[in-house]
Amino acid sequence: MTSNNTTTTTLVVGATGATGKWLVKLLLDQGHHVRVIARSKDRMVSVLQELDTEDQKTSTDNLTIKEAAVLDLSDAELQEQVNGCNAVVSCLGHTMDFKGMYGHPRKLVTEVVRRLTDAIKVTAPTAKFILMGTDAVANPNGQDDKRTFAERSIIFLLRHLLPPHADNEAAAAYLHNTLGTNSGVEWSVVRPTDLINGSPTEKYQLFDKPQGGLIGSGVTTRANVAHCMTEFITNNEKWSEYKFKMPVILDNVTAETN
């Protein structure tokens, strides 16, 4: 397990995405090592460059890119990628077009969670595993507030009509029910609410359950999700507080309330 203020190595999948790119940037900017498995190396480099400003350019000296679709890698290749990592993070999400939602792999996130945590058991048993989830997925521990009848009806429809939602539910269930707290793998699921873009404000809060209805209960800046993940990776006290949990992350309503 990493101790605070030491250099860490993190494997990120979904790193070219709107949240993953921020996680990679924040870790590199803090001097940490990052490995990514990305379908396009060029895309990885360009999405990072897009975040550069005149004053601050991210060095990619500590970035290693394996060009592949993560589920195309063999178990041995995944074990090699995970070997030596302090943390493994999935910011994967289905592409929101017809092929991404109804094509294959239908259980992209769940399969990746299962295979990466299997790899962790073999080559990096102390690595922290962090999944980007959503507050539309209830914590399988049953401690979220019961949603209204209307919301439960919407979630029922999402589950049966939108494969990505069922996938996100299955991934959370795999971590909570199958791995649980005794598998040897430490995990956490960060559950944002409605996502927005923008730079990290670091003004957000973590809650143990959703803070309102499915829609209109606030927003979460993707870069703040990434910031929260960097805290989990680099701060062991934070990790002790949130491992085996599924915190809901919400931007603060006003800057003064952080």
Binding site for ligand NAP (CB under 6 A): 14-20, 39-40, 43, 69-70, 91-95, 100, 105, 108, 132, 134, 164, 168, 192, 194-195, 222
Give, as one character, the DSSP assignment of residue 146.
P
Closer to ligand NAP by CB, 2 or 204: give it: 204
Smallest separation (angstroms) from ligand NAP to the CB of 1: 26
Smallest separation (angstroms) from ligand NAP to the CB of 181: 24
Give the separation between CA 163 and CA 247, rounded to whole angstroms.
Answer: 23
Backbone angles phi, psi at 192, to 5 degrees: -80, 160
Location of structure tokens 């430490």 = 186
- Range list of β-strands (E), 49-120: 63-67, 87-90
Please check whether residue 187 is in contact with residue 131, taking contact to mean a CB–CB distance below 8 angstroms. Answer: yes
Smallest separation (angstroms) from ligand NAP to the CB of 71: 6
Closer to ligand NAP by CB, 14 or 163: give it: 14
Closer to ligand NAP by CB, 1 or 215: give it: 215
Residue, CB closest to ligand NAP: 17
Smallest separation (angstroms) from ligand NAP to the CB of 241: 22
Tell me which H or E stretch contains 20. helix 20-29
Closer to ligand NAP by CB, 18 or 173: give it: 18
* 81-95 CB burial, b ≥16 within 10 A, e <16: bbbebbbbbbbbbbe
Smallest separation (angstroms) from ligand NAP to the CB of 3: 29
Closer to ligand NAP by CB, 163 or 239: give it: 163
For the CA atoms of the chain, what is the radius of gyration?
Answer: 17
